[in-house]
């Protein structure tokens, strides 16, 4: 299967690294080494089966129309914000899937959601499965309007966890632990908790209860985080802000 990758940023390169042993990849990115500079550099008879659009959303209008000539390809976009309708305006009536992975594709642990436009077939579902189950879990959305919520949850979500790790490190240093120790133990605590969420059948609520003794140290900490639903309220505001920003940016494309 021939895959043409347009854009080799962080997400595009992460996917390429996971796919390069299974598929024939051709990459266009004028700003990266060992890539073609433009569509004009493709061989005359080159015909991709899949075109992965991995460029910045604000570049879509400038870059995409040239690719409309590949009428038989399945276009897959991982660019946030742009709707299927917008792609149709730029490319015509092509087969298109919007996919929202996250940066955990680098380690094969992404949470990816996708939609297909009305031109796609069941075989396109199969192609998306083949590609993105290689890098984590995959869920099809029946309603494209949910895409911005997915972006706010799992697309941006790794950044929230990284910031939690930063905060835990800083707090540990305030309690007297040295920087190296604080960093190593904050990271491993999050890694361990994530592993139990993946491997054990219990809900997050039950796991929290399992490590919280009444009147103990963990309970004392949770009393701060949970009073007045403080942490839940903060996260709700954060995800809503991310979702609203996606909607705003989409109107600008």
Q: What is the mean pLDDT of residues 217-231?
A: 96
User: Mind listing the pLDDT tens digit for each residue in 171-199?
Assistant: 999 999 999 999 999 999 999 999 999 99
Give the single-character DSSP code of 36: B
According to the CATH classification, is domain 2-141 in 3.40.50.300?
no
In this predicted structure, the answer to whether residue 214 has a pLDDT above a threshold of 90 is: yes
Structure tokens at 23: 């598929």
Which sequence spans correspond to the domains of the chain?
Answer: 2-141, 157-250
pTM for the whole thing?
Answer: 0.91
> What DSSP string runs through 125-188?
HHHHHHHHGGGEEEEE-S-GGGHHHHIIIIISHHHHHHHHHHHHHHHHHHTT--HHHHHHHHHH
Instruction: Supply the pLDDT for residue 174.
Output: 98
pLDDT of residue 141 exceeding 90, the answer is: yes
pLDDT in tens, 28-40: 999 999 999 999 9
Phi, psi of 99 (to 5 degrees): -125, 135
Q: What is the pLDDT of residue 97?
A: 97
Domain 157-250 architecture:
Orthogonal Bundle (1.10)
Please name which of 155, 101, 151, 156 lies closest in space to residue 131, comparing C-alpha atoms. Answer: 101
Does residue 253 register a pLDDT over 80?
A: no
With a pLDDT cut of 70, the percent of the chain lying above it is: 100
């Amino acid at each position: 299967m021939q895959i043409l990758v347009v854009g080799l940023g962080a997400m595009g390169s992460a996917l390429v690294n996971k796919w390069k042993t299974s598929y024939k990849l051709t990459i266009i990115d004028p700003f990266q080494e060992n890539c073609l500079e433009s569509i004009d550099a493709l061989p005359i008879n080159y015909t991709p089966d899949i075109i992965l659009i991995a460029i910045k959303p604000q570049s879509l209008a400038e870059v995409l129309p040239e690719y409309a000539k590949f009428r038989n390809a399945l276009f897959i976009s991982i660019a946030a914000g742009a709707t299927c309708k917008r792609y149709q305006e730029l490319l015509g009536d092509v087969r298109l899937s919007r996919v929202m992975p996250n940066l955990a594709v680098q380690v094969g642990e992404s949470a990816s959601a996708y939609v297909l436009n009305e031109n796609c077939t069941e075989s396109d579902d199969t192609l998306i499965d083949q590609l993105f189950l290689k890098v984590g879990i995959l869920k099809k959305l029946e309603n494209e309007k949910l895409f911005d919520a997915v972006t706010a949850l799992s697309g941006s979500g790794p950044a929230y966890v990284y910031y939690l790790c930063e905060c835990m490190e800083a707090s540990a240093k305030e309690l007297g632990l040295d920087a190296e120790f604080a960093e190593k133990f904050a990271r491993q605590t999050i890694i361990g908790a994530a592993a139990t969420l993946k491997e054990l059948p219990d809900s997050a609520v039950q796991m929290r209860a399992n490590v919280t003794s009444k009147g103990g140290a963990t309970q004392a900490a949770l009393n701060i985080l949970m009073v007045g639903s403080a942490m839940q309220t903060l996260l709700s505001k954060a995800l809503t802000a991310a979702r609203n920003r996606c909607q705003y940016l989409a109107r600008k494309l």
